[in-house]
Amino acid sequence: MNPELPVTKLKGIGEKLAETLWKLQIRTLADLVGHFPRRYEDRTRFVKIGDVRDGEFATILGKVTAVENKPLRNKLVITKVTLDDGSRVVASLTWFNQWRMKATFEKLIGKQVVAYGQVKRRYAPELNTPEWEAIDEDGAVDSLAIGRIVPVYPLTEGLSQTRLRRFAYEAVKLCADEFEDALPDALRKRRSLPGIAEALRNIHYPESDDALQAARHRLAYEELLALQILVAEKKREVAIQPGIAFPDVLGPVEELRGVLPFSLTEAQERVIGELGRDMASTLPMNRLVQGDVGAGKTAVAMAAMTIAARGGYQAALMAPTEILAEQHLKGIRARLEELGLRVDLLTGSRPAKEKAAVKERLLSGETSIVVGTHALIQESVGFHKLGLVVIDEQHRFGVLQRAALSDKGVRPDVLVMTATPIPRTLTLTVYGDLDVSILDQLPPGRKPIRTHWKKRAEQDKVYAGIKQMVTQGRQAYIVCPLVEESEKREAKAATHLAEHLKAHVFPELSIGLLHGQLKSDEKDAVMEAFRKNEHQILVATTVIEVGVDVPNAAVIVIEDADNFGLAQLHQLRGRVGRGEHASFCVLLADPSTPDGTARMEVMCATSDGFVIAEEDLKLRGPGEFFGTRQSGIPSLKVADVLRDQDILIEARTDAFDLLSRDPQLARPDHGLLKEAVARRRRAAEALQIG
């Protein structure tokens, strides 16, 4: 049957049910076949009720022997269903406050029921709110629900697992063979992947666990292949048109070494070497530098900027916040002006007159280097000769913003710097068109930051510790609790905290206050005073999260730390440990969720950004990790970028290989793949525009 026919072609699906299915985006038979199970239950083997163990997820099959409602206080009720499979003990299935359960099960007394869930067991096992279904002993449903690996589908209201299973089964049976295989035969053979029909049959109704894994592998591979072809196309596009070849790379870097107050680490030298080769070549540079907080990415950026400026071009550095832009300006100006290069600042909140003057100098070419925020990508900003774009802390900017700045020059080189250590698989998925350099070494002399998790009850001790460190000449950050999404309320909370600390805890110290509602020159003044140790304590919101660099600050206390994400905590912690002093991070938290507790434990256990990023991904999943919309991370149906690293590498190799032999995917056996890639491209574009 033609897969493009509407679902109403199936027996048992009328207009009403079609509407329900539409809620799952299912309109055609093909959609139904594309609605993959979210998990499976191996019902080739049921666990005997007498044998289930506490804590395990088990599927049991038994006869309903009793149903009762146990009333609780406040009109609440627990429904308890007893299941007997002839074991020594019976199992109870329980539901809380589901008033209709009792009547439902009363009709099933004496019938067989399958239940799946996590077992709680002291003596007799109990499954709370299990998934379940009645087995119609000689009905047709039977064969789909027992004695095999059974699919469990995502559902919607008004549609039962049993019915959806039946429909999916019918749809697969009727049209799996009608699907054309998008994978060219040669690739499929090389990777020993099953054909599309076999894969579709087994992703729904696996013949065996091996068949299921093979089906999953194939479908994940197909998804990742389309994605990687997209990436490979982007990369080829960039490579086709020549960019700028900077004539001298070694000279400018040597000049920079002369004005830096430290010698570059080996890792910095290596990364500068990598980007130097890019810049010397006519291929436009598109490089991502990943380096943990404090690894010294700014010096790397300065090397690139010096190369660009000495080559007669301008360089622009875009940072995510004004504070960070201003700090970059200071650091960069201090070094590069010694080399006779003019460095300017462009952020939204500078006085209009100053902004106009900077824009003027950018147009005339008098300014070699400009540091700024997204103010740089406004239409009114033009360059004389933009040759290098540096984007700091990439994960805050979308791909489009990156492009908006590049478009102000003629194929300038692009350097993206991120402090979020991104696991390799994700780098390939999200930034697959970028070459990656890793800054995997901290400058020498850094003492590890010791992290402690303290309960609120111990807060006085924590404050006493701060006092002691201040006595020794150090400074401290105190980061305020997150207050919902409102910057205004967050600023207010920070103000309160600062006042409270001043009045009751640290009356003899000077306390600075930094939050997002301050005007730019106020922020400047506070940071400057803190830098000069005129304030011993800086109370701040997360505006200090990225990049703020005061080496004498050796303690950071994060209030209600369990409300922050891991990446954010790691960034915040990176504000200390930047000088030669032993540094501490104190997480003040009484976590109310297991996730919150897990985050505190991860933070205490490691300060390796890569480990933290991986844990973060596990806890949150890739979508949230990046903020799906801005990163343009594609939605994948089968593939799991964490688990399927090997498949991703295979798909990537094959994608680049394929394009090198058939750049337009013009060969007839690449036609379907070309369509799949086009669909991915449209989805990615929609995501970025949205």
Applying CB under 5 A, the residues found at the interface with Mg ion are 297, 547
Partner whose binding site includes residue 291, from ligand ADP, Mg ion, none (CB under 5 to 8 Å by kind): ligand ADP
Partner whose binding site includes residue 327, from Mg ion, ligand ADP, none (CB under 5 to 8 Å by kind): none
Q: Which residue do the tokens 């900017």 mark?
A: 397
Report the alpha-carbon distance of residue 314 to residue 350 in Å, rounded.
Answer: 21
> Which residue lies nearest ligand ADP, judged by its C-beta?
296
* Smallest distance from ligand ADP to CB 49, Å: 57
* Smallest distance from ligand ADP to CB 319, Å: 10
Report the alpha-carbon distance of residue 614 to residue 605 in Å, rounded.
Answer: 14
- DSSP string spanning 46-59? PPPGGG--TT-EEE
Q: Which is nearer to Mg ion, 80 or 297 (CB)?
A: 297
Q: Which is nearer to Mg ion, 576 or 658 (CB)?
A: 576
Q: Which is nearer to Mg ion, 396 or 652 (CB)?
A: 396
Report the alpha-carbon distance of residue 238 to residue 218 in Å, rounded.
Answer: 30
Q: Which is nearer to ligand ADP, 32 or 585 (CB)?
A: 585
Q: Which is nearer to Mg ion, 194 or 547 (CB)?
A: 547
Report the alpha-carbon distance of residue 595 to residue 608 in Å, rounded.
Answer: 19
Secondary structure letter of residue 551 according to DSSP: T
231, amino acid identity: V
Length of the chain: 690
* Smallest distance from ligand ADP to CB 563, Å: 24
* Smallest distance from ligand ADP to CB 564, Å: 18
- DSSP string spanning 423-478? PHHHHHHHSTTSEEEEE--PPTTPPPEEEEEE-GGGHHHHHHHHHHHHHTT-EEEE
Partner whose binding site includes residue 252, from ligand ADP, Mg ion, none (CB under 5 to 8 Å by kind): none
Report the alpha-carbon distance of residue 383 to residue 91 in Å, rounded.
Answer: 75
Please state the separation of Cα 436 from the chain's center in Å.
18
Report the alpha-carbon distance of residue 595 to residue 606 in Å, rounded.
Answer: 17
**Contact (Cβ atoms closer than 8 angstroms) between residue 600 and residue 588:** no
* Smallest distance from ligand ADP to CB 531, Å: 11
Please state the separation of Cα 171 from the chain's center in Å.
35
Partner whose binding site includes residue 37, from ligand ADP, Mg ion, none (CB under 5 to 8 Å by kind): none
What Å distances lie between residue 193 and 214, 425, 474, 645, 653, CA to CA? 7, 21, 61, 17, 16
* Smallest distance from ligand ADP to CB 422, Å: 15
Which residues are near ligand ADP by CB under 6 A? 262, 264-265, 268, 291, 293-299, 419, 443, 547, 549, 551, 578
* Smallest distance from ligand ADP to CB 301, Å: 8
Q: Which is nearer to Mg ion, 126 or 393 (CB)?
A: 393
* Smallest distance from ligand ADP to CB 265, Å: 4
Q: Which is nearer to ligand ADP, 294 or 622 (CB)?
A: 294
* Smallest distance from ligand ADP to CB 344, Å: 20
Which 3 state secondary structure label does DSSP give 275? helix
Q: Which is nearer to Mg ion, 130 or 547 (CB)?
A: 547
Partner whose binding site includes residue 671, from ligand ADP, Mg ion, none (CB under 5 to 8 Å by kind): none
Q: Which is nearer to ligand ADP, 224 or 301 (CB)?
A: 301
Residue 665's CB is within 10 A of a number of other CB atoms, namely: 20
Report the alpha-carbon distance of residue 165 to residue 603 in Å, rounded.
Answer: 44
